[in-house]
Amino acid sequence: MKNRKKGVALILALIMALTVLGGCSNDSKDKKIQRDTGTDQKEGTEEGKKGSGRFFESECTLPKGTKKICSMGKLEDGSLGVLAMRNDNSYVILISSDQGKNWRQTKIKGLKKEFLPHAAIGPKGNAALFHYEKDGKIKASLADPSGKTRTVTLSIPGNQGNNAKNQVWQAAYSSQGSLIIRTTDDSLYKVGEDGTCTKAFDTKGAGINYFSIAGNRLVAIHDDGIMLFDTESGKALDSEAPLEELVKKYKRLASADTDSGQPMVFSEGTEKDGIMFANKEGIFHFKLGGSVAEQLMDGGLASLGSGNTIFYGIATLDQNNIFIAASSDSSGAGDKIYRYSYDKNAASAPDKELTVYALDESIFLRNAVTLFQKANPDIHVNLEVGLTGKDGVTLEDALSVLNTNILAGKGPDVLILDGMPVESYIQKGILQDITDVVEEVNKSDGFFPNILEASKQEGKIYAMPARLVIPILEGDQATVNSGRDLKSMAERVTALKKKGNSSGGKSLPIQGPESTLRDLFYADSATWLKEDGSLDKETVTDFLRYAKQFYDGDNHNSKLENQMDSHSMDATLETGEKLGSHRYDGLLTGEWKYSFGTLSDIYELQSICSYRPQTKTDFCLMNHDRIKSYIPYLMAGVVKSGNTDAGKKFVKLLLGKKAGNSDHNGIPVNRAAYDAVCKEKLHAQNVKDESSISFSAQGSDKSYGFAYANLKQEEIDSFTKIMESLEKPSITNRVIQKIILEQGKKYLQEEQGLEETADDILKKVNLYLAE
């Protein structure tokens, strides 16, 4: 089973060169697709607030032992059908006739206990399961409602002999029982009873990225829009402008980038010629020939709005009950079936509001918002992101508007302070003391005591990180030994450079000037501030000197360096996924002798420990003899002038075990969450699923990679000692960091001297701090 791409695409690109939900009132038939769906809405108007009735979310409890949802749909008798994989890798058909409360299980017989990549449930409770190609043949096991199977060999056009290049990539049944597949050449085929595949849909040469079935209509999504077909005749139907524009404008909806699931799913609607569809923005009903889609539920107020949600299916049982199968984790651990039921007497929207502001998008933060919404259905959380990268807003613009709003009493209630001037906000009395909240969570779950202590200001806590990232150095033992300070590291880089030159090899990774400065800044900046809050010139000068030595050790390639430096300075993708800047690809290919950067989560720790037997490398906390520093992530504070009660309640959840129990997007500061994540990695799900990483080096057909391995207790204990040794946060103020990178780059590229650069940095930073 392939592992979901959690930053691997970025790495390879660089090497190769609620119980709640939102509502619509009974009289809101004209409510338009909102936010990312491409049209406007009457948001915030009195008209939009009137009325009653809304959908509420609940989670269906699946039978114990259910591991992964493969397919879900409405059966012809009106019941809900699910095809699922169990923990022992067997497959079952689950049918519920009471809105997901109880399930009738039918085991699928005649299958080996193995992972099957694609499957579909049919309208009669039958199923199709597709096997990996073997000996040039692709087989499908077709199960009847009793679970009895028969196996057919697919006859896909273009697959000849032992050259089965065209694999099955997606499958679904139409409401009339026709089995339809999408193959790796992005074509659609009907599968006959004997396995014969017929290209029944003329897509006019467009590659289909994914498709859904909506009654007797096939909805095919390609790069430039959506095509509709009659599922039985294959006839192309008239295009629908609102759906076309939806995909054209928002490219993230145009293609699926995971091994299973899609960013959007469709089903038959509740009216004649109606189509129901769902994506992260919510659930919508569209009538063919119409000009707008009615939003039934706002995804931002429910589990659908989580930043990394993928969808497996939607089933509309009736106008008051909609079911969605979705996941936040392609391993299956996050697979859920959500029921959305309509209550006509409920208020159409929550009557309270809480605003959370962050400079950067964050999947983890969005998941916390979802958890908070479920626990507090009377509070609508408005998450504002200052730097979306889509509107031309600069860091200075975002901070200026934020500060103006705070001073005017119109600011947010909760601040995620990553990149912000935290010290200034504390000194100006903007932040509320949240010591009571932190102590309450510490009493129930525990925090790393050293991080707790480092977060105090004169005995009080005004801001507390939910996660953290650490700077690391990785390489052979001599390289790791040099990790004690920047001077020793720089000397090691110079020695490796000379060794590589003499042997005709390239023993060092390519780093851009800004990425070099950024990673070393995170490792060293905790030592820069004097007692009066100004920068110490000597430490900054030393930092620049050693950074230049690192950069001079680089085998420069301007194109790759620009790619490195164009990446977000805090290693956060547009999707909100937090990545470490540490890279391992060159260690696996044997090109590099060391790598340095940031390690962002326990998942990356597992990666390092999985490939270490191949590379014969070790790692350490960078600069650990000089300062054992860390980078706070999702540092939360409550604004004094805001809704402090609700704000504290949100921060408590963000810092708690339930929100923090994730191996991605930062290392938990909550000790109970940290221990739970580490415990899972002793018997990791991705190891059970035989997940692996593979890639090819540029200009070579040779494949490199590794299979994920369970962490060993001694590896966890060793890493925990690093966590317990951390002393002080690095400077996270994005304005200061920007000055360092801009001025330092000039020195690294020899546009100005060391003394001049240090003076310019001190002048600009100290002037900024004095404002």
Q: Are residues 282 and 414 in the same domain?
A: no
Domain membership of residue 714 as a residue range = 467-634+662-770
Q: Are residues 446 and 471 in the same domain?
A: no
Q: What is the per-residue pLDDT for 561?
A: 56
Q: Are residues 435 and 557 in the same domain?
A: no
User: How many helices (H) and strands (E) in the chain?
Assistant: 22, 36
Of 480 and 698, which is predicted with more confidence? Answer: 480
Predicted confidence (pLDDT) per residue in 42-98, tens digit: 333 333 344 578 888 888 999 998 989 999 999 999 999 999 999 888 999 999 999
Q: Is residue 230 part of a domain?
A: yes
Q: Is residue 99 part of a domain?
A: yes
- In contact, 732 and 632? CB cutoff 8 Å: yes
- In contact, 124 and 99? CB cutoff 8 Å: no
- Model pTM? 0.78
Instruction: Tell me which residue of 377, 373, 379, 205 sits closest to 304, measured CA to CA.
Output: 373
Q: Are residues 493 and 460 in the same domain?
A: no
Q: What is the per-residue pLDDT for 191?
A: 96
Of 599 and 167, which is predicted with more confidence? Answer: 599
Q: Are residues 426 and 401 in the same domain?
A: yes
Predicted confidence (pLDDT) per residue in 586-627, tens digit: 899 988 888 999 999 999 999 999 999 999 999 999 999 999
**Integer distance in angstroms from the first to the last C-alpha of the chain?**
55
Q: Are residues 538 and 598 in the same domain?
A: yes
Q: Are residues 444 and 474 in the same domain?
A: no
* Confidence tier at 209 by pLDDT (50, 70, 90): very high
Q: Is residue 95 part of a domain?
A: yes
Burial 44-59 (b: 16+ CB within 10 A, else e): eeeebeebebbbbbbe
* Confidence tier at 337 by pLDDT (50, 70, 90): very high
Q: Are residues 462 and 472 in the same domain?
A: no
Q: Are residues 623 and 715 in the same domain?
A: yes
Q: Is residue 39 part of a domain?
A: no
Number of domains in the chain: 3
Q: Are residues 139 and 212 in the same domain?
A: yes
For residue 312, what is the domain's CATH number?
2.120.10.30
| Nearest-5° Cα angle at 581, 707 to 618 | 55
- In contact, 267 and 315? CB cutoff 8 Å: yes
Predicted confidence (pLDDT) per residue in 234-247, tens digit: 999 999 999 988 88
Q: Is residue 27 part of a domain?
A: no
- Helix, strand, coil % (nearest 5) of the chain? 30, 30, 40
Predicted confidence (pLDDT) per residue in 294-328, tens digit: 999 888 777 887 667 889 999 999 989 999 999 87
Under 8 Å CB-to-CB from 270, ≥6 apart: which residues? 276, 285, 316, 318, 319
For residue 696, what is the domain's CATH number?
3.40.190.10
Residue type, 314: I
Query: What residues form DSSP beta bridges with 639?
Result: 431
Q: Are residues 234 and 112 in the same domain?
A: yes
Q: Show which of 592, 624, 659 is a domain's final residue.
A: 659
* 129 pLDDT above the threshold of 70: yes
Q: What is the per-residue pLDDT for 8?
A: 41
Residue 101 has which token pair?
């409360």
Q: Are residues 210 and 74 in the same domain?
A: yes
Q: Is residue 29 part of a domain?
A: no
Q: Is residue 762 part of a domain?
A: yes
Residue 29 has which token pair?
């038939």
DSSP letter at 350 equals -
